[in-house]
Amino acid sequence: MLLTKNRIQGNLREAEGCVTEMREQQRPTDPGTPRGGADQLREDLTKEINRLNGLSTRGLMALALFLFVSILAWFGFLFLPAPEAVTAVLGKPPSGRIISIVLLLYTFSAIILSLSRMTAGIEHRSSFSHVGYLTGFFIFYYFDKSLADNYWAVFGSGITVLGVESYRIWTFCAEGITKSREDIEYVTRTGRRPPEE
Amino acid sequence: MFATLAGKALVPVGLAVTGFMVVCCLVLYSVIRDDLHRGEIVHATNLADTILKSTRYAMHKSDRETLATIIRNVGEQKGVDHVRIFNKRGVVTFSAKPEEINRQVDKNTEGCIVCHKGAVPETNLGTMQQARTFKNPDGKGVMAITAPIYNGPDCSTAACHVHASSQKVLGTLDIGLSRTELDRSLAMLRIQMIIFSLMSLVLTIGGVTALLRRNVFLPLQKLRTYVEASTEKGDLPEPPPHLPHDLDVIANGFYRVKHDAADKKQNPGKSA
């Protein structure tokens, strides 16, 4: 909420990769915005709503991609070479126990990071990177030949991390959209920029 | 649900705590199962070694009756699914189950292929590689160990039945232990972990809900009732007592604004 109101000013800044910075206060409380400026403002706010609408499904898309990877893992990554062939070239993989410890550390860190972003109201679109990390865990277990024993641990970790991330992105976008709609209403009613919160 | 304060507070906490606990339980279960499995393999290997050492003298003396008795007695032990000895050609020569004697075993079956997958059979396997798990015809889980019976100087030079010293493996001891007890323990562990996770989930959500209700929702409800009463009635009530500091500031601020407005209304000429 705090962030969305600051987003609008002429050109909307497109976040590149990890947008971890708080958006700076951009909107001057100019009481005398001309009507043409109000139209521009409404257009910007509408664009912002569309952008947030698109962003709100990002978490679910990441979750869907993870489910697809999980299905591939369930069938034992049929397209990958046999573990023996790969370990013959690359050497012995880390043991299943080490991978499990790293998985727990990763899950813990990812949840803490996501909850921190939720608390600070930071926009961050890194859900797909989590799919990459989780796929890495599946692959490491596969090469260790312990995927069958640890499949559900990675799956549970993925559902948890991506579930929390999806919720964070969704609530962030929902609050931003609500605020933008209120701002549009205010601009239509008064012809001026909405006041800062 | 998601729009309320309670929903916003509880959904991420519940999801994060439950998910992390489930992952921890799954990893822990996997580690415990792995440990128990390894322990069972070590136990079976030791048992196989004990049998081999116990039967070595009888083999050396070619005392088939003693050998058969030892195998039969071990096979009658509780938790032992099968004990059998194969000769070099894969024919069962001794078994706790008499109907298995003289049966030929296929080298491509699970327990044999580990050594017989190449043109020259493997003669040395690690402890873990010797083990295999499968379900017996009764549908019960079995963990079996295949231990080679190596040729020794006392065998190759014995007067009774000389084996060539070049022959490294004389036969194989195959012993299978029932996994029923292990499976039962793991099933109990699974149930205990599920109950533990559910209890933790209920405690976490219950604790967070109770604290939120006590410290946030009830004071908010008081403030809301006060604001509604102030706007509806003609007279201005005092702010509710014992509110948390933040809400107390809001309630007092609201009271002052309303009080000043009412004062202005009554005395329009009086400046603020």
Confidence of residue A13 (pLDDT cuts 50, 70, 90): very low
Q: Nearest 5°: phi and psi at A34?
A: -70, 165
Whether residue B254 is predicted with pLDDT greater than 70 in this model: the reply is yes
Domain residue limits at A88? 35-190
Which of A40-44, B119-123, B204-208 bottoms out in mean pLDDT, i.e. has the lowest? Answer: B119-123
Same domain, B97 and B198: no
Residue A136: predicted pLDDT: 95
Name the residue with higher pLDDT: B265 or A132.
A132
Instruction: Say which residue, A114 or B114, is predicted with more confidence.
Output: A114
- Is there a single domain that holds both residue B113 and residue B130? yes
Q: What is the pLDDT of residue B234?
A: 67
Q: How many domains does chain A have?
A: 1
The Cα–Cα gap between B13 and B34 comes to 31
Residue A19 lies in a domain: no
Q: What is the pLDDT of residues B70-123, one digit of tens each?
A: 888 888 888 888 888 888 777 888 888 888 888 877 666 666 666 666 666 666
Domain final residue, candidates B178, B206, B241 = B178
For residue A175, the chain B residue with the least C-alpha distance is: B3
Distance from CA of B225 to the nearest CA of A (A): 25
- Place A22 in a pLDDT band, splitting at 50, 70 and 90: very low
For residues A185 and A125, the model is more confident at A185
In a domain, B40, yes or no: yes
Assign A197 a pLDDT band (cuts: 50, 70, 90). low
Number of domains in chain B: 2
- Please give, rounded to a whole number of angstroms, the shortest distance from the CA of B34 to a CA of chain A: 9
For residue B25, what is the nearest residue in chain A, using CA coordinates?
A: A153
Residue A3 lies in a domain: no
Same domain flag for B48 and B123 = yes
- Residue B28 belongs to a domain: yes
In the predicted structure, residue A132 carries a pLDDT above the cut 90: yes
Same domain, yes or no: B72 and B32: yes
Residue A88 within a domain = yes
Mean pLDDT of chain A: 80
Between A71-80, A85-94, B27-36, B199-208, the lowest mean confidence (pLDDT) is in: B199-208
Segments of B33-140 assigned E as strands = 80-87, 92-95, 131-135
Q: What is the CA radius of gyration of chain B?
A: 38
B20–A111: do the CB atoms touch at under 8 Å?
yes
Q: Is there a domain that residue A25 lies in?
A: no
CB atoms within 10 A of CB B134: 14
Measure CB to CB from residue A160 to each of B19, B30, B31 and give the nearest one: B19
- Which token pair is B161? 């039945």
Query: Count of CB atoms within 10 A of residue A58's CB?
Result: 18
pLDDT at B164: 66
Strands B141-150 and B131-135 come out as: antiparallel
On the question of pLDDT at B61 being above 60, the answer is yes
User: Could you tell me if B26 and B130 lie in one domain?
Assistant: yes
Q: Read off the pLDDT band of A28 (50, 70, 90).
A: very low
Average pLDDT over residues A173-195: 85
A10–chain B nearest CA distance, Å:
31
Q: For residue B191, give every residue at least 6 positions away whose Cβ sits within 8 Å of its Cβ, in sequence order, or none.
A: none
Residue A191: what pLDDT? 78
Output the pLDDT for position A106.
Answer: 95
- Residues B111, B196: one domain? no
Same domain, yes or no: B52 and B143:
yes
Question: Is B23 in contact with A111 (Cβ distance < 8 A)?
Answer: no
Adjacency order of strands within the sheet including B92-95? B92-95, B80-87, B169-178, B141-150, B131-135
Distances (CA, A) of B101 to B46, B90, B94: 24, 11, 6
**Does one domain contain both B112 and B77?**
yes
Token look-up 């961050």 returns A124
A154: Cβ contacts below 8 Å, ≥ 6 apart: A70, A73, A103, A134, A137, A138, A141
pLDDT score of B272: 45
Q: How far is B169 from chain A (nearest CA, A)?
A: 27
Q: Same structural domain for residues B200 and B140?
A: no
Q: Cα–Cα distance between A6 and A27 in angstroms, integer? A: 6
The residue among A72, A101, A156, A54 whose CA lies nearest residue B15 is A156
CA–CA gap between residue B1 and residue A171 (Å, rounded): 13
Query: Based on the domain organization, do B94 and B202 belong to the same domain?
Result: no
Q: Taking residues A65-86, what's their average pLDDT?
A: 91
The kind and range of the H/E element at A134 are helix A127-143
Residues B10-57 pLDDT 10s: 788 888 888 898 899 999 999 998 888 888 888 888 888 888 888 888
Q: Is residue A168 part of a domain?
A: yes
Nearest CA in chain B to A161: B16
Question: Of B134, B153, B178, which residue constitutes the final position of a domain?
Answer: B178
What pLDDT, in 10s, does the model give residues A138-156? 999 999 988 988 999 999 9
Rounded to an integer, what distance in angstroms lies between the CA atom of residue B101 and that of residue B129? 26
Residues 3-32 of B with CB under 8 A from A: 8, 11-12, 15-16, 18-20, 22-24, 26-27, 30-31
| Residue A27 predicted with pLDDT over 50 | no
B38 phi, psi to nearest 5 deg: -65, -40
C-alpha span between A142 and A154 (Å, rounded):
12
Q: Domain for residue B156, yes or no?
A: yes
Q: Is B272 a domain residue?
A: no
ipTM > 0.95, yes or no: no
Q: What is the mean pLDDT of residues B146-151?
A: 82
B31 interaction partners in chain A (CB closer than 8 Å): 97, 100
**Would A142 be classed as within a structural domain?**
yes
| pLDDT band at residue B233 under the 50/70/90 scheme | low
Residue B230: per-residue pLDDT:
82
Q: Which residues are registered as beta bridge partners of B94?
A: B85
The beta-carbon neighbor of A163 closest among B2, B19, B24 is B19
Is the domain of B109 the same as that of B65? yes
Give the span between the Cα atoms of B225 and A110, in whole angstroms. Answer: 40
Q: What is the pLDDT confidence band of residue B162, given thresholds at 50, 70 and 90?
A: low
| More confident position, A14 or B198 | B198
CATH code of the domain containing B117 = 3.30.450.20
Biggest CA-to-CA distance, chain A:
73
Average pLDDT score, chain B: 81
On whether residue A21 sits in a domain, the answer given is: no
- Domain stops at, among B127, B150, B178: B178
Q: State if pTM tops 0.90.
A: no
Which of these, B81, B231, B254, B88, lies nearest to B164 by C-alpha position? B88
Residues B229, B148 share a domain? no
pLDDT of residue A24: 37
User: Residue B199: which domain range?
Assistant: 186-266
| Predicted pLDDT of residue A40 | 83
